[in-house]
Chain A
Amino acid sequence: MNDKKKDAISADVALEPYWEAARAGRLLLKKCTDCGKAHYYPRPLCPFCMSANTEWLQASGHGSIYSWSVERRGTPPYAIAFVSLPEGPTLLTNIVDCDLDALAIGQKVQLAFETRDELPVPVFRPA
């Protein structure tokens, strides 16, 4: 793993449940019990009201593409996207196992996990 990424993760105790769930193929968001809003990436203090009363919320795994681009100069080329989740947040991710020329805004996608530099990260494939 990239040392800098490793440092960022090992130094963050609050994220341990997130990475544990990710290793088991589950995507966790954070939800604030005071204002009721879900956010991502997860933080101990709610970015909407700064409450410390945040709890983990497991994403359903459904999503739809909010916007996308294909990095044509990548080796190989890859699709990056913002995917909107029914739980509220939109997250930055990759669309994998897809036809790079057939992506569309609004397209339904499904959660999957891939390991990148020893890190389990949430990606999406066409539903």
Chain B
Amino acid sequence: MSIKGKAFIAGIYEHPTRKAEGIPIAQLHAEVAKGALEDAGLGLRDVDAYYCAGDAPGLGGLSMADYMGLDVRHSDTTETGGSSYILHVNHAAAAIAAGKCKVALITLAGKPRTGGAPPGRPPMAVQPPDLPFEAPFKPTVLNIYAMVARRHMHDHGTTPEQLAWIKVAASHHAQHNPHAMLRDVVTVEDVVNSPVVADPLHRLDCCVVSDGGGAVVVVAPEIAAQLKRPKVSVMGAGEAIKHMAGGQVDLSYSAGQWSAAAAFAEAGIKPADIKYASLYDSFTITVLMQLEDIGFCARGQGGRFVADGGLISGVGKLPFNTDGGGLCNNHPGNRGGMTKILEAVRQLRGEAHAAVQVKNCDLALAHGTGGYLGTRHGSGTLIMERM
């Protein structure tokens, strides 16, 4: 069974806050849920399925259904870090295609700036089996991603300047987003002259730390047909997990290679057909790896692909993250997968900022890499079409 054409993204909402002083995480979840339902033209009583990830407080889906007053007949709390929400769309579309539900609500919220989970650390009630074999060496999100960048430079001659172009492109887009945390356009020199935080990554190779959240409503075709918003169809989705394979560590690719192949096979299109891509940008290297994994360029060619504005809307080959992305706009709860979906839907609806709107944007992709790129991570790829 395929999900192609069997589910639609009917509502989206991004919380405008970047610093939620005095607002609990549950309230942020409810606010983005309300926003996405209003955007769709639906109400609380229409929702019959709910999806959330590890950022939801307490008992996760149970606590949030209780808080918001949801009546659900299908739920899923798949947790793959920041990519979770892309997987949730896949699961919601499959559940809708199977007749399990008709209106699925997906929410994300977090507040690493003003309390709640500390940056980059999902709550872990039970300690992982790798703990005594990794934690003593002080791995951080930064140095684990940095080692992937180091390896790419060694294998392919990728330069810090090429990585910097990814931040430069994001900043060109963020200047048009009034909600973005970093709205100043930066140069390659700004990036490579910012302090090295974990070789070879500089401070400006990293995403922002922000509070906030977002929500998506996925609906059955018969529901979409009754709504007034532009129709955005789920064409295909894929997901995969990559890990350290018992010690057979290979940093030359991510699980995105598998998730993207599955998504494109289901959609029946190829990477060159995509007009706009939301790519997970926890760090510049995350974007570079995804470009190669998804197939926007050949393995090892990511550096050349992004150089000289390759990702800038209206300038380069592949407009990406036109909201400014995690690198400049926001990264709510240290989880960027939700906002990747939101901007892709805006592009398909023609609702991105005029300065960055891609012309005739009928096919868009949202891709997430959650967890730790160099040790264990989950990738999700979502391909959507404007009908």
Q: Which residues from chain A sit less than 8 Å from chain B, CB to CB?
A: 4-5, 7-9, 15, 29, 37-41, 43, 46-48, 66-74, 78, 80-82, 84-85, 88-94, 105, 116-117, 119, 121, 123
- A82–B133 Cα gap in the complex (Å)? 12
The reply to whether B198 and A119 form a contact with Cβ atoms under 8 Å apart is: no
Task: Tell whether, in the assembled complex, residue B251 and residue A4 are in contact, meaning their CB atoms are under 8 Å apart.
Answer: no
- From A4, A68, A88, contact of B247 by CB (8 A): A88
Q: A69-B143, A80-B143 are in contact. Are A92 and B137 (CB under 8 A)?
A: yes
Size category of the binding interface on chain B: 35 or more
Residues from chain A with Cβ under 8 Å of B375 in the complex: 92
- State in angstroms the CA–CA spacing of A89 and B135 once bound together: 18
**B22 at interface, CB cutoff 8 A:** no
Is the C-beta of B195 less than 8 angstroms from some C-beta in chain A? yes
B129 touches A43 (CB 8 A): yes
Contacts of A15 in B (CB 8 A): 132
B147 adjacent to A68 (CB under 8 Å):
yes
**A71 and B138 contact, CB distance less than 8 A:** yes
- A40-B247 contact, Cβ under 8 Å, with A68-B150, A117-B136, A119-B136: yes
Going nearest first, the 4 A-B pairs with the smallest beta carbon separation are: A89-B247, A39-B246, A69-B146, A41-B133
Q: Are A70 and B199 in contact (CB under 8 A)?
A: yes
Beyond the given pairs A72-B197, A85-B247, A105-B154, 19 more chain A to chain B contacts, judged by CB atoms under 8 angstroms and listed by A's residue number, are A4-B127, A5-B135, A8-B132, A15-B132, A39-B247, A40-B247, A41-B133, A67-B148, A68-B150, A69-B146, A69-B150, A69-B199, A80-B147, A82-B147, A88-B248, A92-B134, A92-B139, A105-B151, A117-B136
A92 to B151, CA, bound (A): 14
* B59: interface (CB < 8 Å): no
The 8 A CB mask of B98-140 against A (1 = contact, 0 = none) is 0000000000000000000000000000010111111111111
Contact B246 A82, beta carbon cutoff 8 Å: no
B265 in contact (CB, < 8 A): no
Q: Which of B133, B144, B246 has the most CB of A within 10 A?
A: B246
B contact residues around A82 at 8 Å (CB): 147, 249, 251, 374
Given the known A-B contacts A67-B150, A72-B198, are A41 and B129 also in contact in the complex, defined by CB atoms under 8 Å? yes
Complexed CA–CA distance, A63 and B313 (Å): 45
Q: Is B315's CB within 8 Å of the partner chain A?
A: no
B 247-275 contacts with A by CB, 8 A? 247-249, 251
